[in-house]
Amino acid sequence: MKLWGGRFTKETNQLVHNFNASLSFDQKFYKQDIRGSIAHVTMLAKQGIITEADKEAIIGGLNSILADIENGTLEFTNEHEDIHSFVEAHLIDRIGEPGKKLHTGRSRNDQVALDMKLYVRDEVVELNDLLKTLLESLIKVMEENTETYMPGFTHLQKAQPVTLAHHFGAYFEMFKRDRSRLTDIYNRMNYSPIGSGALAGTTYPLDREYTASLLDFAGATLNSMDSVSDRDYIIELMSALSTIMMHLSRFCEEIIIWNSNEYRFVNIDDSYSTGSSIMPQKKNPDIAELVRGKTGRVYGALTSILTTMKGLPLAYNKDMQEDKEFTFDAIDTTKGCIALFTGMIDTMTFNKENMESSAKNGFTNATDAADYLVNHGVAFRDAHGIVGQLVLFCESKGISLDDMTLDEFKAISPVFEEDIYEAISLKTCVEKRLTLGGPGKEMMDKVIAINKEYLANN
Ligand code: ARG
């Protein structure tokens, strides 16, 4: 059944019908569509626009449709253009005359704007919860590893020693910001568009604020043309999801490197690895690679919606129907990736000795050797040069700074004394870094406490 057959004399060409239809994908928000309709008719009855009896009949019909979709007895069939037409046609089929009053004072333009917002709003909450679970996994690793030393890198070259807690803590901050972005999006989008009509409101005495409150919105939107054509929140969400995926893919890249034969910092659990069909020895980090790879899909969704919206005149245009498939895909992809990534972290083991010996062998304490000289009156630039000579000497002999004899130290600079060994030990290097946000245990414990507090309250 068509909602708009009245003024047409010819049947729609089948290809045109298929091209125009969105039911194959907008069926995804049948629940939100029905919820929105129930709120709408509740408001219509309160305003005396339809009778209480019609309202009851409509709500009963809508609930039976909802139940039948969920128990599988009502299937989505192709003759319906979209979810709105589908629900209305079945409603009229089931309850007759009162069903024809459902669409009073409403257009599919404000209806779809509402459905999409309700759907996205629910998903934002789920995404936020999934990120919280990930943060809980990260903080657990952090608490257990404030003294697990490892090299920190710049340019993927060993730079200065840090701890596993500190490294994970960096991602904790990223995902925490991701959650706050989701919260911002939720709060900004949380205004109801329903009652805006096709574009110019309606002449019925609707109570838009009431419908908004029935649907748990913070209020109703203030311009009907904007209401039916605003897709900013989708763009914002795609951007936030792209950032989440970017963070996940950076983390995955590091885990892939750490899991490689050369590093052996971590072991990805068997349950999160796959084998090779030809090479019997292989255990591949496919999950981490796939999460990294799926980032491209989510970026694609952002580019797609930005491009679709570019240059659209007010108000509703059919182009906007293209806001859905990529958005759904990006949401489902990101949710799946966060969940799988969390499982991978939960089951991963850490080779602490390998991390520590890697930090020892890469001159990650060279800055501290220079600082030692500075503390003994040498200018930093000169100290930098002296330690450069130490590194050159060590490299020629294949040893680390800690392996040098005091005589060898003194041959390069007489300032060095026995306490140099203590000053450049891995533990000292890390534990002295107590600036706010630094890796030293004392500071790390404070930051972990702050973040546990955050998790308890958010
Ligand atoms: N399926 C449409 C969409 O997703 C619903 C709105 C249709 N409105 C219209 N005037 N054709 O955007």
Distance (angstroms) between ligand 1 centre and the Cα of 47 equals 27
Q: Token digits for 181?
A: 């972005």
Is any ligand 1 atom within 6 A of the Cβ of residue 108? yes
Is any ligand 1 atom within 6 A of the Cβ of residue 224? no
Q: Identify any residues that bridge with 349 across adjacent strands, giving them in sequence order.
A: 267
Nearest CA owner, ligand 1 atom 12: 321
Neighbours of 359 (CB within 10 A): 25
Distance (angstroms) between ligand 1 centre and the Cα of 204 equals 22
- Do 162 and 82 meet the contact criterion of CB atoms below 8 Å apart? no
Nearest CA owner, ligand 1 atom 3: 321
Distance (angstroms) between ligand 1 centre and the Cα of 122 equals 21
In the prediction, which pLDDT does 278 show? 78
* Ligand 1 binding pocket mutation candidate from 84, 110, 112, 314 (most atoms within 8 A of CB): 112
Question: Distance between CA 349 and CA 189 in Å, rounded?
Answer: 41
Q: Identify any residues that bridge with 162 across adjacent strands, giving them in sequence order.
A: 150
Nearest CA owner, ligand 1 atom 4: 321
Nearest to 123 by CA among 325, 331, 299, 295: 331
Q: Token digits for 381?
A: 């630039």
Distance (angstroms) between ligand 1 centre and the Cα of 68 equals 24
- Do 171 and 161 meet the contact criterion of CB atoms below 8 Å apart? no
* Ligand 1 binding pocket mutation candidate from 321, 325, 328 (most atoms within 8 A of CB): 321
Measured CA distances, 266 to 112, 144, 261, 291, 353 (Å): 47, 15, 10, 18, 11
Is any ligand 1 atom within 6 A of the Cβ of residue 231? no
Is any ligand 1 atom within 6 A of the Cβ of residue 335? no
Query: Which amino acids are annotated catalytic?
Result: 155, 276
Distance (angstroms) between ligand 1 centre and the Cα of 200 equals 16
Nearest CA owner, ligand 1 atom 2: 321
Q: Token digits for 289?
A: 């690679």
Nearest CA owner, ligand 1 atom 11: 318
* Antiparallel, parallel or unpaired: β 191-192 and 219-220: parallel
In the prediction, which pLDDT does 373 show? 97
Instruction: Using the atom order of ligand 1, give the atom closest to the CA of residue 198.
Output: 10
Distance (angstroms) between ligand 1 centre and the Cα of 81 equals 9
Is any ligand 1 atom within 6 A of the Cβ of residue 23? no
* Ligand 1 binding pocket mutation candidate from 19, 32, 109 (most atoms within 8 A of CB): 109
HEC sequence for the chain: CCCCHHHCCCCCCHHHHHHHCCHHHHHHHHHHHHHHHHHHHHHHHHCCCCCHHHHHHHHHHHHHHHHHHHCCCCCCCCCCCCHHHHHHHHHHHHHCHHHHHCCCCCCHHHHHHHHHHHHHHHHHHHHHHHHHHHHHHHHHHHHHCCCCEEEEEECCEEEEEEEHHHHHHHHHHHHHHHHHHHHHHHHHHCEECCCCCCCCCCCCCCCHHHHHHHCCCCEECCCHHHHHHCCHHHHHHHHHHHHHHHHHHHHHHHHHHHCCCCCCCEECCHHHCECCCCCCCCCECHHHHHHHHHHHHHHHHHHHHHHHHCCCCCCCCHHHHHHCHHHHHHHHHHHHHHHHHHHHHHHCEECHHHHHHHHHCCCCCHHHHHHHHHHCCCCHHHHHHHHHHHHHHHHHHCCCHHHCCHHHHHHHCCCCCCCHHHHCCHHHHHHCCCCCCCCCHHHHHHHHHHHHHHHHHC
Q: Which residues 6+ apart lie within 8 Å of 339 measured at CB? A: 130, 133
Distance (angstroms) between ligand 1 centre and the Cα of 184 equals 27
In the prediction, which pLDDT does 229 show? 98
pTM: predicted TM-score of the whole model, two decimal places: 0.94
Is any ligand 1 atom within 6 A of the Cβ of residue 22? yes
Is any ligand 1 atom within 6 A of the Cβ of residue 431? no
Distance (angstroms) between ligand 1 centre and the Cα of 318 equals 6
- pLDDT tens sequence for the chain (458 residues): 677 777 777 787 899 999 999 999 999 999 999 999 999 999 999 999 999 999 999 999 999 999 999 999 999 999 999 999 999 999 999 999 999 999 999 999 999 999 999 999 999 999 999 999 999 999 999 999 999 999 999 999 999 999 999 999 999 999 999 999 999 999 999 999 999 999 999 999 999 999 999 999 999 999 999 999 999 999 999 999 999 999 999 999 999 999 999 999 999 999 998 887 878 887 899 999 999 999 999 999 999 999 999 999 999 999 999 999 999 999 999 999 999 999 999 999 999 999 999 998 889 999 999 999 999 999 999 999 999 999 999 999 999 999 999 999 999 999 999 999 999 999 999 999 999 999 999 999 999 999 999 999 99
